[in-house]
Structure 1
């Protein structure tokens, strides 16, 4: 009887244990969301394998070992829903990791991050920096792209904190990267990038599907784009001088925030924003203008000996609008060189990103110097192309140089007679002025004639000053001892840093300074010899003498960190001008002949125009009034 009872108890125990096991299995069965996530992961894995088989030429790299597992139990899902609401679904997917997708073309290597759906790296494959390191526009979290929006359940979310699911497909030769922030399999916010095979410009769109009941239309939807620009050139201060935020607004106008100091501005109807870091640029463009744009630039170079990684920090805050409760914004994105030829080819006013100068200065560069230099450099080394372009410019400007020198020679011949007038009428300034002007008129000379040629040359001088620092073709092109015509040349390194000069010695600025000294000695010496000293006026000869020494010294310091191509131009230009002036002085102009001609002109009756007659009458009337006051 006891044995039978034991058997019954054993059976009851086994039954209870079996029931408990069944209960535990039922309690831990996968939820519908987990089953869907597992099925989705399988489908994505199959799709990746199929894509790799069908399109072996596309270089797409994705991580297969996730560092963070998706939410796997009801407690975690509940916590995510309490934080993210409808967007908690995105964090339950296998893509909710720091996984990256890499797409390469011949020009670019682009790395997309699941977290935030934005680019974590942009590498320009054709270029290296001054230290032979590949050029990255985006790397190591120096850039951010975020959409801040509200939800209907009163949450404020940022896309940079959320996980996007990536897919890569092909559209002909183009590669499409779709990053989707999912609420469900059919409802999502998408970043769509279409990368072209041989182009620095990619199509970019932000669109939503089925989120009209998720996104709060009463809350502002702001797109925030930020970047800290990397230093790519030898001289961080020189590169920073040409690093700027440029924008287009109101249907074609363009402006910038300024290259020197911190600046911020709010602008209406913006069609593109460019973060320009001298020779490389990031540009976000749209055909449908942003209603407003809050733009900001911060200079990160406080001490060029310490601050050597970044140049400036740029930020743009752009509003996105809902249409029928959904976002649908088509844009373009450019990551590439600040090359006038490349940017101008897009026919979207992007050539304004290249600082060629305003007004006539920009016109001269666009239609004269860029085509001329492009032609010369097509068959000459870049250094020789600069030399030949300088020769052509000086030959074209030689008539102006000739007229300037003739004017100075006339003034030199008239100086004794002007001195006599000054002595004769030293107590009558009005009469002295009348007689001096009468002498100039009879002799056919003018003290302003020597200044006019200099004013004519000013647009050319300034245009070339803008052209050389912006000439992308000069980047890393060598000539003689200069390794890079777009940066300074170095013949000696200093063991210390000289304020405003640097820690190196450049030879081209020294040669340019010596050449400008001798040029100014010739021109300033001629002017000092020809300009009479006016009583009561400052001694211009002393001022000119100071300038003769100060200008070369200023050039020596100022250009030590500038592009060696610009210093090469000024050196060659001044040497050619000195040669032209020596030829004019020794073989063309004869001061004795000029003096004889002036004497003949003085004998001829000089016709006066209406303005000259009126001025003469006014001066005579003023003289009469003065004499009448003395008699009283």
Structure 2
């Protein structure tokens, strides 16, 4: 067997490999100079960390990611900031955020820009693709608070691009975050946030110190507040319908813009601006009114099938006036529920943020419906409270329903006689009108008596239409198959989208439509018969028969995406009304008795009221003038 030997080539190869490895190791070892540089860098990092807010504090500094691109931008920024380049040299010149938190609200304020980068409502959840997540008003750069300032050297700077230095302190139970954009050790622009223990409202102030020699104070600084509203509710179309910008101006006046379309407005002496997102709202209030405000609302839901992330984009631009060369504005910020009870408790006219209706409609909601329904919720679940609430409202309106029905019955009895007068005086309209009024007076019938009760119900109807979509306590409260009484009660999902109807089937609107169909079927004949026949006018009975089918279909279509609590109310309301009408027709009002009473009234001398006498005299004068004109023509 041949013995293996190590040849010369192998030895040379091993030696070369060994030399290469020694060379590589040597070159990768740091020099003393590099070791010193690395040590200095570590000391600088440790020093920066020491200036950060301790984690154990309730408002903790939270590190954010930094990239090479951010470093390049920072270097460019330092060259463009002029007097404020000092702020870019501070340890806070990083993309960190500072957290303020209480049981109701969590805020994260960014060092860069000094504005709120995240605002979460801790106690409430949103609906998103069937899974529940916490309500987030601000996230992923959807909001901005920026001040555009002009310097003495004609630079225009935006605070959103600059770094503030955060300092957290305590004032009793309040957490205080002071954010300073520094031009020097004692020269700064300051944002001051004060969070209270159990409150959605923050104290917020903007002021400057020692900047009169740095800034051009002859012109105001421009404050811009912007929010791209995230969807937080199940129905994006329904949420978008009640998402709007509300503002108060000129010592207590209020207005709104942005219901379903792009709008812009300009107001003077503005004291608050609210970006309302149906059931939640962001509000900026000021003790010193803004001289003017340019307000815009952009609708982002162009296609309800595709645009399902955002609802509207709000912007408010206000000038900040310098006084004595400095800025000083005391403000408040509110991030929380659009709940009437909470907003009203601040005594700052914030209840106007809620769309309760104008005039008497808002009065009914504010002083009747909200207190009464809130009281019911102390004793029963939300769905049962709606049913009980509906019963009370319908019973309270039953005298009006009774008077309306009696008036219809009287007009129905007189219809044959009115038809005779129409035929007899078909060629003399003035005489026909006179004889018809005489007949009404003799019979003791007021032809307007049926209209007045119906008009009296309109404020109640409209107030309720505003009440249910705005009442925060119904949000995410379930009843029977409805998982949220503030949104639609879907029982089936359609594989296609129907315009105006949607891609789901709601059951409460179907029940309400069936109830209103039977109610109209029962009462339409009486309404048509009670309408006095008029020559040249369309037959009211035919119009009423058409409305029997049109009204339920319209309710079925348009209420499919509305709050199920509202559809539940109309379903119960129509059932109760049907019951009341049946009782009135069967046990209370008899057409035979009404006919006998009318005949009895005809036989009695009846004194005309002053209004009726005046009308009679005017009609007789008109008749005489008409006769005179006819004679002159002959």
The two structures share one fold, judged by TM-score above 0.5: yes
Report the Cα distance in structure 2 between the residues aligned to 1:186 and 1:152, rounded to whole angstroms.
18
1:81 deviation in Å?
5.7
* SS across alignment from 2:560: helix
Report the Cα distance in structure 1 between the residues aligned to 2:621 and 2:327, rounded to whole angstroms.
78
1:331 aligns with 2:331: yes
* SS across alignment from 2:486: coil
Deviates more, 1:196-205 or 1:178-187: 178-187
2:291 aligned partner: 291
Residues 554-601 of structure 1, C-alpha deviation per residue, up to 9 Å, x if partnerless?
111110000000000000001001000000000001111111110111
Distance 1:630 1:552, change over 3 A: same
Alignment map for 1:482-497 (pairs within 5 Å): 482-497=482-497
- Contact 1:266/1:295, CA 8 A, preserved across alignment: yes
Q: Give ranges in structure 1 of 5+ residues lacking alignment.
A: 1-24
2:464 aligned partner: 464
1:8 aligned partner: none
2:133 aligned partner: 133
Match of 1:88 among 85, 93, 104: 85
- Contact 1:116/1:161, CA 8 A, preserved across alignment: yes
Distance 1:120 1:449, change over 3 A: same
2:550 aligned partner: 550
- Contact 2:52/2:61, CA 8 A, preserved across alignment: no
Report the Cα distance in structure 2 between the residues aligned to 1:534 and 1:151, rounded to whole angstroms.
77
1:329 deviation in Å?
0.9
- Contact 1:67/1:97, CA 8 A, preserved across alignment: no
1:43 deviation in Å?
8.3
1:237 aligns with 2:234: no
Alignment map for 1:199-214 (pairs within 5 Å): 199-214=199-214
* SS across alignment from 1:491: strand
1:323 deviation in Å?
1.7
2:560 aligned partner: 560
Report the Cα distance in structure 1 between the residues aligned to 2:213 and 2:51, rounded to whole angstroms.
33
Distance 1:347 1:408, change over 3 A: same
2:10 aligned partner: none
1:124 aligns with 2:124: no
Residues 513-564 of structure 1, C-alpha deviation per residue, up to 9 Å, x if partnerless?
1111111122221111233422122222222222221111111111000000
* SS across alignment from 2:203: strand
Report the Cα distance in structure 1 between the residues aligned to 2:68 and 2:84, rounded to whole angstroms.
18
* SS across alignment from 2:254: strand
Report the Cα distance in structure 2 between the residues aligned to 1:219 and 1:599, rounded to whole angstroms.
83
Residues 314-356 of structure 1, C-alpha deviation per residue, up to 9 Å, x if partnerless?
0000111112211111100000000000000000000000000
Report the Cα distance in structure 2 between the residues aligned to 1:244 and 1:584, rounded to whole angstroms.
45
Report the Cα distance in structure 2 between the residues aligned to 1:253 and 1:145, rounded to whole angstroms.
25
1:190 aligned partner: 190
Report the Cα distance in structure 1 between the residues aligned to 2:563 and 2:591, rounded to whole angstroms.
41
Report the Cα distance in structure 1 between the residues aligned to 2:255 and 2:461, rounded to whole angstroms.
23
Residues 197-233 of structure 1, C-alpha deviation per residue, up to 9 Å, x if partnerless?
1000000011111111111113431001101001111
1:107 aligned partner: 104
Distance 1:70 1:90, change over 3 A: farther
Residues 96-140 of structure 1, C-alpha deviation per residue, up to 9 Å, x if partnerless?
111111222101111111111111110111111123111110000
Report the Cα distance in structure 2 between the residues aligned to 1:362 and 1:200, rounded to whole angstroms.
25
1:273 aligned partner: 273
* SS across alignment from 2:163: coil
- Contact 1:71/1:91, CA 8 A, preserved across alignment: no
Report the Cα distance in structure 1 between the residues aligned to 2:621 and 2:328, rounded to whole angstroms.
77
2:374 aligned partner: 374
Report the Cα distance in structure 2 between the residues aligned to 1:315 and 1:182, rounded to whole angstroms.
27
Report the Cα distance in structure 2 between the residues aligned to 1:377 and 1:623, rounded to whole angstroms.
62
Report the Cα distance in structure 2 between the residues aligned to 1:59 and 1:526, rounded to whole angstroms.
70
- Contact 2:402/2:584, CA 8 A, preserved across alignment: yes
Q: Number of paired residues?
A: 594
Deviates more, 1:386-395 or 1:163-172: 163-172
* SS across alignment from 1:551: helix
1:41 deviation in Å?
7.9
Alignment map for 1:383-394 (pairs within 5 Å): 383-394=383-394
1:621 deviation in Å?
2.6
2:18 aligned partner: none
Report the Cα distance in structure 2 between the residues aligned to 1:272 and 1:41, rounded to whole angstroms.
44
* SS across alignment from 2:586: helix
1:21 aligned partner: none
1:59 deviation in Å?
4.8
Report the Cα distance in structure 1 between the residues aligned to 2:154 and 2:562, rounded to whole angstroms.
55
1:95 deviation in Å?
1.1
- Contact 2:299/2:313, CA 8 A, preserved across alignment: yes
Report the Cα distance in structure 2 between the residues aligned to 1:65 and 1:620, rounded to whole angstroms.
90
Report the Cα distance in structure 1 between the residues aligned to 2:372 and 2:285, rounded to whole angstroms.
31
2:312 aligned partner: 312
- Contact 1:284/1:334, CA 8 A, preserved across alignment: yes
Distance 1:48 1:68, change over 3 A: farther
2:433 aligned partner: 433
* SS across alignment from 1:326: coil
RMSD: 2.4
Distance 1:71 1:308, change over 3 A: closer
* SS across alignment from 2:551: helix
Alignment map for 1:145-156 (pairs within 5 Å): 145-156=145-156
Report the Cα distance in structure 1 between the residues aligned to 2:621 and 2:224, rounded to whole angstroms.
70
Report the Cα distance in structure 1 between the residues aligned to 2:171 and 2:67, rounded to whole angstroms.
31
* SS across alignment from 1:225: strand
Report the Cα distance in structure 2 between the residues aligned to 1:629 and 1:148, rounded to whole angstroms.
77
Residues 589-615 of structure 1, C-alpha deviation per residue, up to 9 Å, x if partnerless?
111111111011111112123332222
- Contact 1:70/1:94, CA 8 A, preserved across alignment: no
Report the Cα distance in structure 1 between the residues aligned to 2:588 and 2:62, rounded to whole angstroms.
76
1:352 aligns with 2:352: yes
1:165 aligned partner: 165
TM-score (norm 2): 0.90
1:10 aligned partner: none
- Contact 1:123/1:134, CA 8 A, preserved across alignment: yes
Residues 26-50 of structure 1, C-alpha deviation per residue, up to 9 Å, x if partnerless?
xx99xxxx99xx999848726734x
